[in-house]
Amino acid sequence: MANADAPQLSESQYALHRKELLALMSQLRSVGAQGDLDLPRITVIGNQSAGKSSVVEAISGIKVPRDAGTCTRCPLECRLSSSTNAWSCRIGIRLEFDDTGRPLQEVAEHRFIDMITDKNEVEVALRRAQLAVLNPSVSFAQILEMSAEDLRNGIPGSEPLLFSRNVICVDLEGPDLTDLMFLDLPGIIQNAEPEVVQLVEEMVVSHIKGNCLILVALPMTDDIENQKALRLARQQDPEGRRTIGVLTKPDMLSSGSKVRDLWLDVIEGRKHQLLHGYYCTRQPDDDERSRNIAPAQARRAEGHFFATTTPWSTSTYKERFGTDNLVSTLSTLLVQIINDRLPFIRQMANDRMEACRRELASLPDKIVGEPATHMLNLVTAFCTDIRGYVEGQSDMSSLIHDRNAAFAAFKLAINKTQPHFIARVPGQPGTHAGFPIHIDNEPSAAATDLIATQKSVFLTDIRLHIAKSITRELPGNIPFSAKKSLICAFQSTWLKSAADCFDSVKHAMLALLMRCIDDKFGRYELLQARMKSFITELAGKYYESCGSFLMAILEVEQMPFTMNDHYLQASTEKWLSRYKDQRAGKDADEDEPALKRRKLAGKLAGSQPVTPPADPFKFGTSAAPSSSAFDPAKNPFGIDPSRPFPGVAATKPKAESSTSGAQSSSAMAMTEPDKINSVLAGLAELGYPGVTADDFGKLRQVDEFETEIAVMSEVRGYFQCAYKRVIDNIPSLIDSKFLRAIAQTLQQDLISEFGLGSENANAVCATFLAEDPRLVAKREDLIARRRRLETVQVQLHNFGLNRAGQA
Fold of 6-31+38-352: Rossmann fold (3.40.50)
Q: What is the pTM of this model?
A: 0.59
How many Å apart are CA 218 and CA 228, to the nearest integer? 10
For 400-561+717-745, CATH number out of 1.20.120, 1.20.272, 3.30.460, 1.10.10 equals 1.20.120
User: Which positions ≥6 away from 724 have C-beta within 8 Å?
Assistant: none
Q: What is the torsional sign of CA 766, 768, 771, 772?
A: positive
Q: Worst-scoring range by mean pLDDT, 51-65, 628-642, 734-748?
A: 628-642
Question: Cα dist. 679→523, 575, 605, 688, 701 in Å?
Answer: 78, 22, 11, 11, 19
As beta bridge partners, residue 184 has 44, 76
Per-chain mean pLDDT for the chain = 84
Counts of helices then strands in the chain (DSSP H, E): 27, 13
Give residue 720's pLDDT band: very low, low, confident or very high (50, 70, 90). very high
Phi, psi of 247 (to 5 degrees): -85, 130
Kindly state the average pLDDT of the residues 183-191.
90
Q: How far is CA 332 from the centre of its chain?
A: 49
Give residue 269's pLDDT band: very low, low, confident or very high (50, 70, 90). very high
How many Å apart are CA 297 and CA 41, to the nearest integer? 29
How many Å apart are CA 807 and CA 802, to the nearest integer? 9
Give residue 43's pLDDT band: very low, low, confident or very high (50, 70, 90). very high
Kindly state the average pLDDT of the residues 597-619.
40
User: Which positions ≥6 away from 232 have C-beta within 8 Å?
Assistant: 45, 188, 201, 204, 205, 208
Instruction: Calculate the CA dihedral of residues 29, 35, 37, 40 and round it to 10 degrees.
Output: 50
Q: Give me the pLDDT at residue 294, please.
A: 86
Kindly state the average pLDDT of the residues 102-109.
87
Q: Has residue 287 got a pLDDT over 70?
A: yes
Where is 775: in which H helix or E strand? Answer: helix 773-806
Kindly state the average pLDDT of the residues 651-674.
53
User: Which positions ≥6 away from 335 have C-beta within 8 Å?
Assistant: 17, 18, 21, 22, 179
Q: Where are the beta strands (DSSP E) in 36-174?
A: 41-46, 76-82, 88-97, 103-116, 167-174
Q: Has residue 284 got a pLDDT over 50?
A: yes
Q: If we measure between CA atoms, which residue out of 199, 202, 200, 134 comes closest to residue 168?
A: 134
Task: Specify the long-range contacts of residues 426-431, CB closer than 8 Å, at least 24 apart.
Answer: 426/458, 426/460, 430/585
Q: How far is CA 624 from the centre of its chain?
A: 64
For 204-257, the pLDDT digits (tens) are 999 999 999 999 999 999 999 889 999 999 999 999 999 999 999 999 998 877
Q: Has residue 443 got a pLDDT over 60?
A: no
Kindly state the average pLDDT of the residues 314-320.
94
Question: Any idea where the domains of the chain sit in the sequence?
Answer: 6-31+38-352, 400-561+717-745, 587-699
Strand pairing class (167-174; 420-422):
unpaired
Q: Where are the beta strands (DSSP E) in 567-718?
A: 618-619, 622-623
Q: Give me the pLDDT at residue 668, please.
A: 53
Q: Has residue 636 got a pLDDT over 90?
A: no
Largest alpha-carbon pair distance within the chain? 155
- How many Cα neighbours within 13 Å face the side chain of 152? 7
User: Which positions ≥6 away from 797 have C-beta within 8 Å?
Assistant: none
Please say whether the beta carbons of 787 and 794 come within 8 A.
Answer: no
Question: Cα dist. 530→376, 762, 764 in Å?
Answer: 15, 17, 12
Q: How far apart are the first and last CA of the chain?
A: 32
Q: Check if 6-31+38-352 and 400-561+717-745 are the same fold.
A: no
Q: Has residue 652 got a pLDDT over 60?
A: no
Q: If we measure between CA atoms, which residue out of 549, 555, 517 comes closest to residue 738?
A: 549
Phi, psi of 462 (to 5 degrees): -70, -40
Give DSSP secondary structure letters for 191-241: SS-HHHHHHHHHHHHHHSSSSEEEEEEEETTS-GGG-HHHHHHHHH-TT-S
Q: Worst-scoring range by mean pLDDT, 506-520, 737-751, 776-790?
A: 776-790
Q: How many residues does the chain have?
A: 807
- How many Cα neighbours within 13 Å face the side chain of 383? 18
How many Å apart are CA 247 and CA 216, to the nearest integer? 8
Q: Has residue 592 got a pLDDT over 50?
A: no
Q: Say which residue, 32 or 279, is predicted with more confidence.
A: 279
Q: Give me the pLDDT at residue 632, please.
A: 36
Question: Cα dist. 445→451, 464, 692 in Å?
Answer: 10, 10, 37
Please say whether the beta carbons of 93 and 169 come within 8 A.
Answer: yes
Q: Has residue 631 got a pLDDT over 50?
A: no
Q: Where are the beta strands (DSSP E) in 342-499?
A: 420-422, 456-458
Please say whether the beta carbons of 93 and 144 come within 8 A.
Answer: no
CB count within 10 Å of CB 592 equals: 15
Please say whether the beta carbons of 208 and 45 come within 8 A.
Answer: yes
For 355-396, the pLDDT digits (tens) are 999 999 888 788 888 999 999 999 999 999 999 999 999 889
Q: Has residue 48 got a pLDDT over 80?
A: yes
Q: Give me the pLDDT at residue 692, please.
A: 83
